[in-house]
Amino acid sequence: SAEQQLNNIKITITAGPTREAIDPVRYISNHSSGKMGFALAAAAVAMGADVTLISGPVQLATPIGVKRIDVTTAQQMHDAALAQATQSDIFIGCAAVADYRVAEVAGEKMKKKADSALELKLVQNPDIIASVAALTAKRPFTVGFAAETQNLLQYAKDKLARKKLDLICANDVSGTALGFNSDHNAVTLVWQHGEQALAPQPKAELAKAILQHIYAQFSAN
Ligand code: C5P
């Protein structure tokens, strides 16, 4: 049945932010709530899939039936994602991965110095989804997200090509009613030979619609 159309399909999903330490008490992160990734995981299980959810630090309960792997940093998420990806049919990168981490994490709490600015040196984190899409053996059908505040479709298409993804979910985060931290979202799906706008709706319903389109493209590949 349509309800169980993901039977025997293994899906790995990344969700939430990553957190990059500055010192033992401070970190760099972002506003990702993890809600979209968790909604995708719950919907995928309801559709019969075998789901592994790799989550950064979020305040969300694990959907029933989902295998959850908790990580903190981008490097940890990268290692967990690559290990799962080669055992998956479909990989969905929904996490808001920090692009940079602090070059040298201080071992002790940093002290404020009177009247002086502080410079932090940042180095780039690995691009997790690009690493998954670059796999030559056991490469899963690879789906990314592009959260943008401007030039949404153009940036999404650039990312689809640059990261060699099979499909990308373009997500306008310029407003406050949709996207980050909201329970509603709207996305436009873009793949090499087509695109499909999905109307604004609760993340739970949107997740199901996204998965149906992903499955259609996965099956057509
Ligand atoms: O380039 P940008 O961060 O906007 O790309 C977003 C997409 O790339 C999302 O699917 C996100 O999960 C993924 N990503 C990643 N590793 C990074 C940065 C982004 O997997 N270091």
* Ligand 1 closest atom vs CA 148: 4
Q: How far is the CA of 89 from the centre of ligand 1 (A)?
A: 19
Judging by beta carbons within 10 Å of its beta carbon (0-12, 13-18, 19+), is residue 143 exposed, middle or buried? buried
Write the CB contacts of 221 (distance below 8 Å, at least 6 apart in sequence): 141, 166
- The reply, when asked if residue 109 is annotated as ligand binding, is yes
Q: Is 198 among the domain residues?
A: yes
Neighbours of 31 (CB within 10 A): 10
State residue 193's pLDDT score.
92
State residue 177's pLDDT score.
67
- Evaluate if residue 181 carries a pLDDT over 70: no
Q: Which one of the listed residues 7, 8, 30, 181 is annotated catalytic?
A: 30
E strand or H helix that includes residue 43 = helix 35-46
Task: Give the residues surrounding ligand 1 with Cβ less than 6 Å away.
Answer: 14, 74, 93-95, 97, 99, 125, 127-129, 144-146, 159
- Evaluate if residue 173 carries a pLDDT over 90: no
Q: How far is the CA of 94 from the centre of ligand 1 (A)?
A: 8
* Ligand 1 closest atom vs CA 125: 21
Expressed as residue numbers, the domain containing 193 is 2-104+119-220
State residue 4's pLDDT score.
85
Q: Is 113 among the domain residues?
A: no
Q: Is 114 among the domain residues?
A: no
Q: How far is the CA of 49 from the centre of ligand 1 (A)?
A: 23
What is the CATH classification number for the domain harbouring 206?
A: 3.40.50.10300
Give Cα separations from 40 to 26, 34, 141, 161 (angstroms). Answer: 30, 10, 16, 23
Active site residue 30: yes
- The reply, when asked if residue 127 is annotated as ligand binding, is yes
Q: Is 53 among the domain residues?
A: yes
* Ligand 1 closest atom vs CA 95: 12
Q: Is 25 among the domain residues?
A: yes
State residue 3's pLDDT score.
73
Q: Is 129 among the domain residues?
A: yes
Q: Is 109 among the domain residues?
A: no
State residue 176's pLDDT score.
65
> Number of structural domains, the chain?
1
Tell me: the pLDDT tens digits for 87-143?
Answer: 999 999 999 999 999 999 999 999 998 889 999 999 999 999 999 999 999 999 999
Give Cα separations from 97 to 20, 156, 205 (angstroms). Answer: 10, 16, 24
CB 140 within 8 A of CB 214: no
Ligand 1 atom 17: residue of nearest CA: 127
Q: How far is the CA of 163 from the centre of ligand 1 (A)?
A: 9
Q: Is 180 among the domain residues?
A: yes
